[in-house]
């Protein structure tokens, strides 16, 4: 579904050329959950923005379903670390935003919105505004909005990075519950090894800048990856390998 070929990105800053990414080659299959793992500043977010069509590469190309990606596409959803809800809209209105652009019948929109409100356990907060919600609740709304819009691909840029440990765990469980049903293609940026192991089918380790693909690891651990799985002999072996690569 996603094919990245000989991709490089250089940008200017304060009169200097900064090489962010160099010769990235990567294929991502439909329904696959991929984590981009690497240190801060290695180009993970830049690669995500290139896939989303928000940036254009200096060299190489990205093809999605054999189409050259050079601009944002309605089939691609994105969730950021900073809460990206519309503050003037209620929870229900935020979730319905993308659906309203599709000219669906009002009853259909209401049905989809309420379905996702139940999935993210916010049915009692449909009339609340973002500033009345905790950080974790706001990200639940963002996840519901993205999945409700039914994109083929979901790009997630460290969406749980600003949350506390307990809320992060809850959000990862929620994300996997929804993904297990929808099987969207997900590309998830993180610098958290445990998060990458828990979530992904495959982990792409990105080197320090200029970012290159240092290692590709298929995660063969059984799902759901609870504490026992993550701390099994096999789980600890995966963690040790990733630690040695970072």
Mean pLDDT of the chain: 91
* pLDDT value at residue 71: 73
Smallest CA-to-CA distance from 170 within 218, 201, 134 is with 134
* pLDDT value at residue 135: 86
* pLDDT value at residue 101: 80
- pLDDT tens readout for residues 14-72: 778 889 999 999 999 999 999 999 998 899 999 999 999 889 999 999 999 887 777 77
Range of weakest confidence among 71-80, 90-99, 210-219: 71-80
Structure tokens at 210: 């200029």
Number of residues that make up the chain: 246
* pLDDT value at residue 81: 75
Smallest CA-to-CA distance from 178 within 148, 152, 205 is with 148
Residue pair 11/65 in contact by the 8 Å Cβ criterion: no
CA angle 141, 145, 150 (to 5 degrees): 150
Q: Taking the model in full, what pTM does it have?
A: 0.89
- pLDDT tens readout for residues 17-33: 889 999 999 999 999 99
30: Cβ contacts below 8 Å, ≥ 6 apart:
1, 152, 185
- pLDDT tens readout for residues 142-183: 989 988 988 899 999 998 887 888 888 888 988 998 899 889
* pLDDT value at residue 174: 86
Domain boundaries, the chain: 82-150
- The H or E element containing residue 63 is strand 59-64
Tell me: pLDDT of 235 over 90: yes
């Amino acid at each position: 579904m996603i094919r990245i070929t000989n991709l490089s990105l250089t940008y200017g800053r304060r009169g200097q050329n900064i090489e962010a990414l160099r010769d990235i080659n990567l294929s991502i299959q439909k329904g696959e959950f991929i984590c981009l793992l690497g240190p801060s500043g290695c180009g993970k977010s830049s690669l995500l923005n290139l896939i989303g069509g928000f940036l254009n590469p200096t060299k190489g190309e990205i093809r999605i379903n054999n189409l050259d990606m050079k601009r944002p596409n309605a089939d691609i959803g994105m969730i950021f670390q900073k809460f990206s809800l519309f503050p003037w809209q209620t929870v229900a209105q935020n979730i319905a935003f993308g659906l309203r652009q599709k000219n669906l019948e009002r009853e259909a929109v209401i049905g989809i919105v309420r379905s996702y409100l139940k999935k993210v356990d916010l049915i009692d907060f449909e009339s609340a505004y973002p500033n009345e919600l905790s950080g974790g609740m706001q990200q639940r709304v963002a996840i519901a909005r993205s999945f409700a819009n039914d994109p083929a691909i979901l790009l997630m840029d460290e969406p749980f990075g600003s949350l506390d440990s307990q809320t992060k765990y809850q959000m990862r469980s929620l994300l996997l519950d929804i993904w297990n049903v929808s099987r969207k293609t997900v590309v998830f940026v993180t610098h958290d090894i445990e998060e990458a192991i828990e979530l992904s089918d495959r982990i792409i380790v990105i080197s320090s800048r200029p970012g290159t693909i240092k290692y590709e690891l298929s995660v063969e651990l059984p799902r759901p990856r609870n504490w026992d799985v993550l701390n099994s002999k096999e789980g600890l072996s995966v963690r040790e390998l990733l630690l040695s690569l970072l």
